[in-house]
Structure 1
Amino acid sequence: MKKFLEEEILFPKKIGWIPYFWLIFLIPVLSDLGTMPLKKQVIILFLLLLFLKAYREGYESNKWAIWYVIIQLIISVIYQFLGMTGLFIFTAWQIGFLSLRRDRFYLFLGVYYAFCFINIVSTTLWLVQGDAQSIGSLLIVLLFAIFSPLVSRSMNESIYRTTQLNRENKRLEALIRKEERERIARDLHDNLGQSFSIITLKTELAQKLLAKQPEKVSQELTEIAQISRNNLQLVRQIVNGLENRSIAKALLEEEKLLSAASIYLSTEGEEIAENWPIELQTIFASCIKEAFTNIIRHSKAQFVQCVFRQSNQYYELSIHDNGIGFLTIDPTSHGLSGMMARMKEKMGRST
């Protein structure tokens, strides 16, 4: 039963909830049935069920999609002659949301506009005896039907671009994590691997000397201790390297939080910052995190922009938002004071 519903009744999951929303506009059509003769009710209901089936199948974007669209349009014209309007709107928005190549989209659009022309002619002839109010309302419906496919197509392309951008961000984030793991592996192999091999060899040598030349064992143990201290220092350097955060990584992580708070992020000159020294990137990454946290908590903004600039040996990051802001800085705010302190350590300043 569930499989039957998914394959024959319900709309494809990839389309989302939009087709269900448009079904609301069938309410006026159904509300008029009570005032019609029984024979006309049966005909209209049969055509409506056929229309809904074609409407559902049309979202599959297969080789039969054009015929499902034509069936919808034919039924829409019949409904128009029966004095009922509005079905064209369903097909109009469906054409825009289908995943079609540009040439195929124009084919669908041409067929749709051909039926729209028939509908306009029939409506004009029917309204010769109609009142001005009816003419005005029907013209609005027709104008809406004419422009809806183009608006729907634009919305669909915008949704597609947003989806692609989110996928690219996820891929980029995974790539950054992979590169970080590879860097750690290289550091461990190149720096510690050789040192531990030397420690192993010297330990084996010390064991042999212990029986034959015990006076030389002390020297070997001293060298082993020195190598161990050097290795400890290398480990600390690697750990410190893990704490370094690039600006790109900070923007990736913080943009998720901004999106959750319905705040749009825009950047300018981000590619310039990719080549900045990693120590400076770590400081700027901390500043970005602190600034974005404050924006989310206090600014009530809908838009934030980060601008990166470089001139000679000067590096600049400007962060702007369209929120309410505040005139004074809370002296007890450790985040802002820490950000200023990190700037001063590198002979920088914050304003």
Structure 2
Amino acid sequence: MVYEIKIYPREQIKHYLIIDVMSLIVLITMVLWSHSALPLAARISILGLYLGAFYIALWHRDWRLLVASLVAFLLITILGIYEDIFMLIFGFTFADLLGRAKSKWHIAIGMLGIAVMFLGVMKLTTDSLVTVESQVLAPMMIIQMVFPVLIYFVEKSKNLQSELADVNTQLVQQEERQRIARDLHDTIGHTLTMIKIKTELTTKLIDRDPSSVKQELNEILATTRTALKQVRELVSDMNFVSLQTELIHCQQLLQSANITTTLHNQCPTIVLSSVEETMLALCVREATTNLLKHSEAKKCHMTIHCHNGLYTLEMKDDGIGLSQKGLGNGIHSMKERMQVLQGSATVENNTPTGTSVVLTIPIQDGKEPLT
């Protein structure tokens, strides 16, 4: 079995490694080169115990962190008494580590340990608590006692930010899932609907007009290839869809379903952005799918016109309308896409003469043709 030796937490290297290494070097140098009454063996033992306590406190956040910190405070107290009173400054190292404890009680006990350490050293090394040294150490004691609390709230803030980042990631993933579902509905659903319609037509032609079956089967095969291409594009995230290409494709699909289709573009000079083209094209695709599924129409007229800074695409059929169908996921998707472009999608279905889908987006400055 291979054991991994952990030296220093990777997440703390950037902010704490240099400080910790420098403080340990200064402490070791001060203790080993001092002329105190402590024997060298005792000083080495204290340093060894201090390093052990530091290592334990560095890697743990439970009761072991508290015990290691209290041991370190005891060792610093001994050094403060026998070496130099300003050894107390090394308490900052464990005050910082204490602030990362999981339990507030551990932090509170550690703060009490800091107070006992300072008061014990000042009591045993100074004649009065009002000496200059005590006046310097008292603020240091207060700062070290407050330090774990500050670190605790800093760490808590980091954890909250991390949780918020996780939530944001989940929201982005949810939006991406919705986008994929919408794209599948608008692309693959549209093509599969066409395959279904043409298959039903082929079934009827087998008895009435066998000579046309081969042509219909070839068109079904071509539509199947289109479906496979759409799947590849979705998988490879090729999202751009040409509006002109989609209009021609939808016109061909409608005509193959015996729906007479006309297309009148009154503003061919307007240049749309890739996002605008894609959103409009997908809405046209969805409207065509609904028309094929529900309208029972014989005619469809598609018009594009520009007026008062608005680019409007309208699809109007002479079918039975959508009064019995309601606003499905497709129409909701169209409205969402147009809202992204600060436009609108309306479905006019108040008359028995068919349905009119109107897609409107604002024309960007400088792109509106002169009239």
TM-score (norm 2): 0.53
Distance 2:250 2:204 in 1: 16
Distance 1:71 1:179 in 2: 56
Question: Equivalences for 1:70-219 in 2 at 5 Å?
Answer: 70-82=70-82, 83=84, 84-98=87-101, 100=102, 104-105=103-104, 107-125=105-123, 126-128=125-127, 133-206=132-205, 208-211=207-210
Distance 1:199 1:238 in 2: 31
Determine if contact 2:63/2:106 at 8 Å carries over to the other structure. Answer: no
Q: Identity over aligned residues, as a percent?
A: 12
Distance 2:189 2:4 in 1: 60
Q: Is 2:341 the partner of 1:282? A: yes
Partner AA of 2:76 in structure 1: S
Determine if contact 2:100/2:152 at 8 Å carries over to the other structure. Answer: yes
Q: Which runs of 5+ in 1 are unaligned?
A: 245-275, 285-339, 347-351
Deviation of 1:150 (Å): 1.0
Distance 2:61 2:281 in 1: 49
Distance 2:116 2:184 in 1: 70
Distance 1:175 1:231 in 2: 38
Name the SS of the counterpart of 1:81 in structure 2: helix
Length, aligned pairs only: 246
- Change in CA separation of 1:40 and 1:136 when aligned onto 2, cut-off 3 Å: farther
Deviation of 1:226 (Å): 8.4
Distance 2:198 2:250 in 1: 10
- Change in CA separation of 1:41 and 1:94 when aligned onto 2, cut-off 3 Å: same
Distance 1:29 1:243 in 2: 71
Distance 1:190 1:49 in 2: 71
- Change in CA separation of 1:4 and 1:129 when aligned onto 2, cut-off 3 Å: farther
Name the SS of the counterpart of 1:342 in structure 2: coil
Partner AA of 2:70 in structure 1: I
1:239-269 per-position Cα deviation (integer Å, ceiling 9, x unaligned): 733889xxxxxxxxxxxxxxxxxxxxxxxxx
Determine if contact 1:12/1:60 at 8 Å carries over to the other structure. Answer: no
Deviation of 1:157 (Å): 1.0
Partner AA of 1:28 in structure 2: V
Deviation of 1:156 (Å): 0.7
User: Partner of 2:364 in structure 1?
Assistant: 342
Distance 1:150 1:282 in 2: 49
More helix by share: 1
User: Partner of 1:11 in structure 2?
Assistant: 8
Distance 1:55 1:16 in 2: 15
Determine if contact 1:120/1:142 at 8 Å carries over to the other structure. Answer: yes
1:121-164 per-position Cα deviation (integer Å, ceiling 9, x unaligned): 22333233799553443234222211111111111111111212
Determine if contact 1:92/1:149 at 8 Å carries over to the other structure. Answer: yes
Distance 2:281 2:137 in 1: 66
User: Partner of 1:241 in structure 2?
Assistant: 279
Deviation of 1:49 (Å): 2.4
- Change in CA separation of 1:38 and 1:18 when aligned onto 2, cut-off 3 Å: farther
Partner AA of 2:92 in structure 1: I
Partner AA of 1:70 in structure 2: L
Name the SS of the counterpart of 1:86 in structure 2: helix
User: Partner of 1:229 in structure 2?
Assistant: 253
1:188-226 per-position Cα deviation (integer Å, ceiling 9, x unaligned): 454332221111232354455445xx6x88xx89x9998
Distance 2:149 2:65 in 1: 18
Q: Please report the RMSD computed on the Cα atoms of aligned residues, expressed in angstroms.
A: 4.4
Query: Over alpha carbons, which structure has the higher Rg?
Result: 2
Distance 2:280 2:152 in 1: 46
Partner AA of 1:24 in structure 2: M
Deviation of 1:23 (Å): 3.6
Identify which range, 128-137 or 51-60, moves more after superposition.
Answer: 128-137
User: Partner of 2:317 in structure 1?
Assistant: none
- Change in CA separation of 1:90 and 1:243 when aligned onto 2, cut-off 3 Å: farther
Name the SS of the counterpart of 1:229 in structure 2: helix
Distance 2:280 2:161 in 1: 32
Name the SS of the counterpart of 1:5 in structure 2: coil
Distance 1:93 1:243 in 2: 59
Distance 2:281 2:47 in 1: 64
Distance 2:165 2:255 in 1: 42
Deviation of 1:93 (Å): 0.8
Partner AA of 1:47 in structure 2: I
User: Partner of 2:293 in structure 1?
Assistant: none
- Change in CA separation of 1:2 and 1:150 when aligned onto 2, cut-off 3 Å: farther
Distance 1:231 1:45 in 2: 93
User: Partner of 2:238 in structure 1?
Assistant: none
